Every structure is written in structure tokens, then in C-alpha cells.
Amino acid sequence: MTRILNYIKGEMVPPEAGAFLPNIEPATGAPYSEVPDSDSEDVERAVAAAESAFPAWSSAPASERSRLLLRVAELIEQNLERLARAESIDTGKPIRLARSLDIPRAASNFRFFATATLHFASESHATDLRAINYTLRRPRGVAGLISPWNLPLYLMSWKIAPALATGNTAVAKPSEITPMTAYLLSELCREAGLPAGVLNIVHGTGAKAGAAITGHPRVGTISFTGGTKTGAEIGRVCAPFFKKVALELGGKNPNIIFADAGLEEVIPVSIRSSFDNQGQICLSGSRIFVERAIQKEFLERFVERAKSLVVGDPLEESTEQGALTSKAQFDKVLSYLQLAQREGGRILCGGEARPAVGGRCARGYFIRPTVITGLPVSSRVNQEEIFGPVVTVTPFDSEDEVVAYANGTPYGLAASLWTQNLSRAHRLAERIQSGTVWINCWMLRDLRVPFGGMKSSGVGREGGLEALRFFTEPRNVCIHLPANPAAGSAS
């Protein structure tokens, strides 16, 4: 059984206390590797390593940091198949998705920030003829990077790449539920020749290793992606230290479909926004609102397509729906399916656990794509993030009504809007409280755009310049320009 190791000061090391946790393969429900159960001592060593690497790394030419990060990107691409397979086994996601989305995106993250930093510039402000101000942007020191289990390497690399590209060093903690690709990444970083201590990866639980990072007085920058409740706890821990914190949290995203949208395009994209990665994407459109005139046709076509999705062994090429990533998540989603019935919902398809996925997957955490109607927008199923292959469909009659529905949860991460009416699209994009609004598309990502959530979906933005700014400290330098004495005496 593979024993995952921490990556500290350039070495692969076991946790100091020697404790490991079982790592479960969700498609089978069986342990298949072991992950370090690291504690504050391991985090202390990682922080010390990151601190000692900081002076050289932060003062190295940007082109040198860029070269090394590009080398990591290359190695990810060269190991695409191995990483995709590892991600699929660790998370339960279809290997097809890991191969086409997760791993290529991890390479793109490194490539993007390795080159973005070469073009990063800061502002200058001329104050009449009296002074020139310029903004000096310097790396902040040791960054703590904490990521969730749904898109493990994709989201971890989205933090590591900008932190390192801007000259910070880092202590990263992947989710204890899906540690494998971060472990493989640490080997690739060694192969790339990343200097010891620049990146350290400490594995373990949130309560122990995660809390040791967020509570560490010498880790001044925290970038966190995960659940809203955890985000609140991290905010509470970081506030007394005045840490710079970015929190990318949960969502309960609306997918709004007007009658003038062409269902030919809406249906396949809405199937993806509902069920890709078993609905375990923070951006999943889990609340579908359909204009009443087309509700019947939409439901017929959508449910037929949802029923036809192939649920199966994530390692099979034909599989479209794999397993949920953990037993806890599986139980949580099932509890919401029961709640939906208690709240008066009608389950049009799915709703049951463990469909006939035989063979080695008989005990895996599979749930069929589920479509529910008839629930009030105020019901718990429509208000709380379920994070599984479950969507609700609700009719609406007017723009005002659907805007109120869209904005009527504590969340504000992403929204999709389908209409051919351009004026309406702009009007609603302005009114919907959401960090991202997609019009006639979903998850069309450009790495340069600001990414993040409003309300309980988070604080701060990642992506492009926002990430480069987050990981640097702006300092203003003001140079006084005294009047020219020679010019004065001449006048």
C-alpha cells in the first residue's frame, strides 16, 4: 500500500509522530493508501523551511522563478496519464474528466502564472509637478495554501503557482480525503529542481495540520478554498494576527433559463453544470429556474438525458458519472434526498443510492443523477449546499421573480443565464449577486478574470492580476520633486 509522504525542505519525509490515516478509494469503499496525519510539529518544520528559502527565492530574477514553474508545468503534461489515473482513483471522478479537465488545468495554472509574473507591473502616480508616487509590490513571505477534495490538483495548483511566481514561499495542505496528486506533484517539483523549502506540502486533517497553518504566527498570508463553515473558522483564527486572507467558499448557484433560449444548447450544458464531477463543483448550477412556458418541455428533455448518463467505474472510459468522493459526502447527499421528500419534493429521476455498478465497485459511493421539482425556494434543499448530483427545478414567470429567487440564498458564487435577449442579459447580470455570471454558457473559464464569491461564498478574488496582487504587498514610495532653484532665480 502506497505511503504518502510530506514534502518538507525538498525531502519526502514521514510525519514526525509517525501517524498515518487510511486513504479510501471512493469507487470501492476500500483503503488503498495511507496519508500522513501531520500535526503542528510537521507544520513548524515546513514553515521554518519556507522561511529559510524565502530570501533567495524572493530575490531571484522573475525569469528564473518562471523557468522553474514552466518546468513543473511540462512535467505535469508529461505525466498526464499517471496523474489523471491517480486523481480518478482518489476522488471517484471519471478518468475522462480528470484527463480532460483537472490535470490539463493544473499544467495551465503553472504555465499561466509562470508567464503572468513576467508581465506584472505596478502603478505610478504623478502628483502635479510636486512628487511622483510609485507602488512597490513585494512578495509577502510564507503563504499557507489550503484546498478541498473536489478538484484536488486543479485547485491546489491555482494557489501554488501565483504564490511562488510572485516570490513567496509556501506551506500547502491538500485535503486529507484526496492527497494523492499533491504527493505526486511534490515528486515532480523535486524533479524540476525547485529549490528546497520553496514549496512544502504537509498532509493531514483540517483540525490538526490545517489549523496549525492558519494559526501559525509566521504564516502571514492564507489562501483557502473549501466550505463556508470552515471559512468562517479560518477568518476567526486569522483576524487577531491581521493575516491577509482569501476565502473561496461554497455556492448554491442558480441556472436561469428563459423561454427564448434554445433548448438544443441549454440541455447539454445544463446536464454538465448539474452533474459534472457528480455535482461536486463549487460552480455547479444546483438550482435550475425555468420560465414557465417551457418548463414542461425542458423537464422532459432534461430528465431523459439525466437518466441516460452512464454511472460506473470511474476508471472505465465510458463512465460519465463516477462515485462521490467520500462516505461522509455520500451520506450527506442521501440525507438531503430524504429531506427533499419530507419537504414535499417530487423526485423525477435518481434519488437512490448504489445503482447497479457491479464488480469491484459494488460497495462504492455512487448516487444516480437526481432531479427534484415541487420544492419552495425557501426549502432547506433549495437553500443549503448539497454538493452532489442533485438539482431542483423551479418555474418562474418574471424577471423580478427570478432575480429574487437567484439572490435568495446566503451564497453568491456563480450564476448562469440563458436568453437571446441581450438587454435582459445585461440587466440581469447587473442585478444578480454573484462573483461570476455566465451568459449562455457555464464554466467557460479565462485564467485572467477575477474569480471568487460574494456574500457567504467568500472574500477576495483569485485569478490573473487579482492573484498576483493578493500574494504581494503594495507599498507606496513618494518622491518629492523640489522646485528647480535655477528656474526660480531666473524668474
In angstroms, what CA-CA distances link 303 with 357, 360, 373? 20, 28, 11
Does position 407 interact with ligand NAD (CB under 6 A)? The reply is: no
**Cell 493508501 maps to which residue?**
33
Residue 162 CA to residue 168 CA, distance in Å, equals 9
Span from 63-71, 83-91, 143-151, 388-396 in contact with ligand NAD (CB under 6 A): 143-151
- Applying the rule CB under 6 A, the residues between 58 and 117 that interact with ligand NAD are none
Least CB distance from residue 33 to ligand NAD, whole Å? 17
| 418 DSSP 8-state letter | E
Does position 150 interact with ligand NAD (CB under 6 A)? The reply is: yes
- Applying CB under 6 A, the site for ligand NAD has a residue count of 31
CA atoms within 13 A on the CB side of 40: 7
Span from 146-154, 270-278, 345-353, 395-403 in contact with ligand NAD (CB under 6 A): 146-154
Residue 98 CA to residue 102 CA, distance in Å, equals 5
Pattern 424-453, ligand NAD, x by CB under 6 A: -----------------------------x
- Residue 381: closest CA among 135, 372, 10, 279: 372
- Applying the rule CB under 6 A, the residues between 373 and 402 that interact with ligand NAD are 385, 387
Interface residue with ligand NAD among 102, 176, 320, 466 (CB under 6 A) is: 176
Grouping H, G, I as helix, E, B as strand and the rest as coil, residue 207 is helix
Interface residue with ligand NAD among 15, 26, 226, 314 (CB under 6 A) is: 226
Does position 210 interact with ligand NAD (CB under 6 A)? The reply is: yes
Nine-digit cell string for 250: 461554497
Residue 211 CA to residue 225 CA, distance in Å, equals 14
Does position 230 interact with ligand NAD (CB under 6 A)? The reply is: yes
Does position 460 interact with ligand NAD (CB under 6 A)? The reply is: no
Nine-digit cell string for 66: 518562471
Nine-digit cell string for 97: 474528466
Least CB distance from residue 47 to ligand NAD, whole Å? 14
Contact between residue 419 and residue 465 where contact means Cβ atoms under 8 Å apart? no
Does position 411 interact with ligand NAD (CB under 6 A)? The reply is: no
Measured in degrees and rounded to the nearest 5, phi and psi for residue 211 equal: -65, -30
Active site residues: 248, 282
Residue 118 CA to residue 113 CA, distance in Å, equals 9
Q: Which is nearer to ligand NAD, 308 or 335 (CB)?
A: 335
Least CB distance from residue 281 to ligand NAD, whole Å? 7
Residues found near ligand NAD in the complex (CB under 6 A): 146-150, 155, 173, 175-176, 205-207, 210-211, 214, 225-227, 230, 233-234, 248-251, 282, 385, 387, 413, 453, 458
